[in-house]
Amino acid sequence: MRCVLQRVKSASVTVDGEVISSIRRGILCLVGIGADDTKHEQEWLAQKLLALKVFPEDREGEVWGWKKSVVEADYEVLCVSQFTLQANLRKGAKPDFHGACPPEVARQMYEDLLADLRRRYKPERIRDGRFQAMMDVQLVNDGPVTLVLDSATDAPARPVPKAPLTEEQKQKAKEKLAARQKNREQRVSAATSGAGTPVTASASEADKAPAQATTEKSEKELIHEAEEKSRELAERFKVAMLEPVP
């Protein structure tokens, strides 16, 4: 998504001689939706528009300053769909608009953007033009301040979903867990048999032996045991998640 953001003292949209939307101080956002844009870019733009600090702290006195966002300053937002922002001008003199999202898809994404902005901010302070209409847009640029946002260069990369494990990978994970559990049981068994209690020891002394053995373990050994149990639980959980839900 591409967006030209302008800090304005006022802005309005007129269609067929009728003013359909207007704001006082705030930001005017011309939004162009690209053919490859997804919900990821839409959510990024909504968050970015409301978070950018383009207003001075003093509402009346200061002219410049980058202290407050439109939300923090309690101003208004006017969005206008602008597919021409996706024009390719590399060749020839005629703009190429093949990079713009098809209208039937772009309309839904644009409406989702407006809904997201209203959810994140005060709904009554989010205004918009008319999708696919010939509009006259009037504004008083405050500053002037004009910024360009482009998800292709400014947004973080889309999260890549993990590919599902193959049956071979699932089997290896189960075997790894079984081997680790077997090794742990063998170590516990060896430690128990090697720490036998003398036959002449009294019953009370025998009862005290496990507690004494525990206290005699070093902190390093206890940490190692805890880490082993943690890894085993993690492996068990991982294998359990691989099993189909009945």
CATH number at residue 26: 3.50.80.10
197 domain residue, yes or no: no
d(C-alpha 47, C-alpha 8), whole Å = 19
Residues 76 and 31 in one domain: yes
**Which candidate in 6, 42, 82, 86 is catalytic?**
82
**Which candidate in 38, 84, 169, 212 is catalytic?**
84
- Give the pLDDT score at 221: 78
d(C-alpha 184, C-alpha 188), whole Å = 6
Domain span including residue 31: 2-154
115 domain residue, yes or no: yes
List the pLDDT tens digit at each of the 246 positions of the chain.
999 999 999 999 999 999 999 999 999 999 999 999 999 999 999 999 999 999 998 777 677 789 999 999 999 999 999 999 999 999 989 999 999 999 999 999 999 999 999 999 999 999 999 999 999 999 999 989 999 999 999 999 888 777 777 888 878 888 888 887 888 778 777 777 765 555 444 555 555 555 555 555 677 778 878 888 887 787 777 666 655 544
- Give the pLDDT score at 199: 47
Residues 139 and 24 in one domain: yes
Residues 220 and 128 in one domain: no
Residues 38 and 125 in one domain: yes
Q: What is the DSSP string of 1-15?
A: -EEEEEEEEEEEEEE
**Which candidate in 6, 42, 55, 83 is catalytic?**
83
Residue 6 among the catalytic residues: no
| Cβ atoms within 10 Å of 56's Cβ, excluding its own | 17
Residue 83 among the catalytic residues: yes
Before 144, cis peptide (omega within 30)?
Answer: yes
Residue 132 among the catalytic residues: no
Q: What is the DSSP string of 27-71?
A: EEEEEE-BTT--HHHHHHHHHHHHH---B-SSSSS-SS---B-TT
Tell me the three state secondary structure of residue 92.
coil
Number of domains in the chain: 2
Residues 137 and 24 in one domain: yes
174 domain residue, yes or no: yes
